[in-house]
Structure formats: C-alpha cells, structure tokens
Amino acid sequence: MSDEIDSKPDILELAKILDSEDMIGFTRAFVKDFQKGLEHVNLERFPWIEDIAKQKWNGIICLGMGGSAAGGDFLAALTNLNGKLPIHIQRDYTMPSWWNKSWLVIATSHSGNTEEALSASQIALDSGATVVVISTGGMLAGMPEIYSRCYLIPSIGGQPPRSAFGHIFSRQVGLLRHLGVIDMPAENSDKEMLERLQIACDGFDIISDPTGDLVELASYMESRPIAIVGPTELMPALNRFKNQLNENSARFTRIGVIPEMNHNESVAWGGVGGDKDPASDQQVLLFLTWEGMHKRVSHRIDWMIAHTTTDFAWKMQGEGDTLLESLLHLCIIMDWISIALALLHGKDPAAIGPISALKDFLNSKN
C-alpha cells in the first residue's frame, strides 16, 4: 500500500499535467485583480455614478449566475452588516413580481452573454429601470448603446468567470462605495488590507508549499463527504466554497448556516445521544469563522466542535479587521483548496464539461 501511495504524482507534477488554463496563476493574481478593480472604479472615469448616487433608491437588485452572481451575495452580506440599502440577488430569467424602477439594478455577467442575466436585464430596461452592467463584453455590454439609463463598467476577460471574482467583486464594491451604499474606507486601510491578503495568498500557495496544511487538508477531503458551516454573515463564503468545490474539484459539498442549522441539522450530526446520519462520522467538517461573529454564534460553534462525531473537523478563521477582509481571506483559502483537491482527483480545475454540454444543448433549442 505504501509503495502505491509513494508512486502517486505529487501536487507539483499534477499541476504541470492538469492545469491547462493556469487556474493556479489566476489564483495567485486574486489580490492584485481586486486592487486593480477598486482603482478602476472612480468618478473621473465614470462620472455618471454621481448622478445615480443623487437618486433615492429603495434598494439594489443584483442579476447574475454562477461566479458572476457571487459578488452580489458578498455585497448583501456587507450591506446587511453595515450598509445603507437592502440588496436582493436574482438568479433567474425574470424580475421579482414586487420589483419596480425605484430599485437600482446591477447586471453582472463575465462573458456578457449569460442568458438569464440578459433576459432579466431586458425586462428591467423595458420597464424603465436604471441598470449598471459589469461585463467583459457580449450582448450585455452592448445594452448601454441602446438604452439611455444603462451604464457599463467593463471588466477583464480571458479567464473562467469563477477565477475572475477579484475583477468582478472589486468593481461592485467600488461602485457601491461611490454610490454611498457602503462607507468609503479610512485612509490607507485598503492598502494595508491588500498587503495582508497578498501575504496570505503567497503563504497558501500550494505550489510554493506542496506539502503544506492546505494540501494535507485536501488529501483528507479526497475520499470523504464534505460539509462546511459558518455564521450567517459568512454565507457568501460558504456558498462560494461549495461552488468552487463543485466546479473546480467536481465534488458535492453540503453547507450549513449557524444559528439556523443548530435548530434542525444538529440532530443528524449526533454527538449527544439520539440518532444520526451514519455518514456523519466520516465527513470532513469545516467551520468558517471570523472575529466579528455574534458571541452566541461563537459559543454554538465551540459546542459543535466539542461534540462533533467526526475526526475530520477543522476551524478556518477569516482573518482581518473587517467583514470584507475576512471574506476575501476565506476566498483565498477556498480557491487554493479547491484547486488542490481537483489535482488530487486527477481533474483539470478549469474543466467544466457538463456545463459546456448543457449550453450547447440550450443553444440548439433557440
């Protein structure tokens, strides 16, 4: 058995063989992408933002799918904690029945051709909405040429949407800051945050540290069910972690949000008498945390760690002075883990065969 293990290629060899689209390189560039996106969105380049900021909005609707929609979840978490407007995320072909043009619409599609985002944007614009498009091109990026109340913030192309999260989310954050929906940071705080995040990104690099903690964790995840839990405000990170493992690693992942999951799912976990799911003993269980958690939620996580029935449980702290930094820190960790797990499975982390096949099928039905 040991000879078989020793004969398996290591992460460095697997990366050379499998990483066809340089997902590792895109992950290394995450912090710089985020920095460039924040700098790109300013009033000198996009003076129309000032006009939008002067209007009275009831809230913001974020349109998008997959990696392009993830930023809306993160924005909602930031505004729920300390924002000026509610944010609703719409992953569909339609607009909500309650929607009206007093809600600002942000339509995000990396390619600019995501059919759900295009359909919902068309409905919104035909109803007189104000729509801000964030895209690299495609049909969505052409809408500002047709509609007077439609504006474009261009993003950077040439990579899979899920690897372009730094480009996309930074532009969304920059827009909301200039709209006054979330506060502008104190002087030098962005610079200091980005420096810390870059240190983290370099430190978690699975190629620079091919036998480090993240590769070891991925090896435990390789043959076991995966569950990820965390507090409500980290829900965007939980969901994105699941999606990255789904898409990069081709793995199912279950997520649970505390405190809600403590009122139902805890029974299936067992640990204190009663019945439980037989698979709970073998699941890899990851707890995502951050410094700003409610004290009672922190107590709940401590209790779960003490009573979990699995031997494969880890706590992952999103480091940073703010929720934004903590979320970004967790994004860096999850991206590296999902790529490491993909390589251990012998999968190209960029390969998305079923998604491409579905798109081909849908195109044939047009």
Q: How far apart are CA 70 and CA 209, in angstroms?
A: 28
Residues 15, 47 within the same domain: no
For residues 201 and 28, the answer to whether their CB atoms sit within 8 Å is: yes
Q: Is residue 290 part of a domain?
A: yes
Answer with the one of 179, 194, 218 that is the final residue of a domain: 179
pTM given for the model:
0.94
Domain identity same for 219 and 301: yes
Same domain, 212 and 339: yes
pLDDT of residue 5: 45
Query: Do 174 and 210 belong to one domain?
Result: no
The total of structural domains in the chain comes to 2
307 assigned to some structural domain? yes
**Per-residue pLDDT, 266:** 81
Q: How far is the C-alpha of 126 from the C-alpha of 183, rounded, in Å?
A: 32
C-alpha count within 13 angstroms, C-beta hemisphere, residue 39: 8
| Residue 214, pLDDT score | 96
**In a shared domain, residues 251 and 330:** yes
350 is a domain residue? no
| Residue 298 lies in domain | 10-21+206-344
Say whether both 53 and 17 belong to one domain: no
Of 91, 97, 138, 140, which is closest to residue 118 (Cα–Cα)?
Answer: 140
Same domain, 142 and 264: no
- Give per-residue burial for 48-87: e unless 16+ CB within 10 Å, then b: ebeebeeeebeebbbbbbbbbbbbbbbbbbbbeeebebeb
49 and 134 share one domain: yes
**Is 196 a member of any domain?**
no
Question: According to the model, what pLDDT value does residue 274 have?
Answer: 63
254, part of any domain: yes
pLDDT, residue 9, reads 76
Supply the pLDDT for residue 45: 97
User: Block means of pLDDT (10 residues each) for the chain, length 366 residues?
Assistant: 56 96 97 98 97 97 93 97 97 96 97 96 97 97 96 95 95 98 96 98 97 96 96 97 96 95 85 70 93 96 90 94 97 98 96 84 82
Query: Which of 179, 194, 219 is where one domain is finished?
Result: 179
Domain membership of residue 252 (yes or no) is yes
User: Are residues 335 and 302 part of one domain?
Assistant: yes
Q: What CATH number does residue 49 fall under?
A: 3.40.50.10490
Handedness of CA 156, 162, 166, 171 (dihedral sign): positive
Whether residue 215 sits in one domain with residue 165: no
Q: Establish if 30 belongs to a structural domain.
A: no
Q: What pLDDT sits at residue 7? A: 56
Q: Is 217 among the domain residues?
A: yes
* Pair (149, 243) in one structural domain: no
- Look-up of token digits 């261009």: 154
Report the distance separating Cα 176 and Cα 247, nearest Å.
29
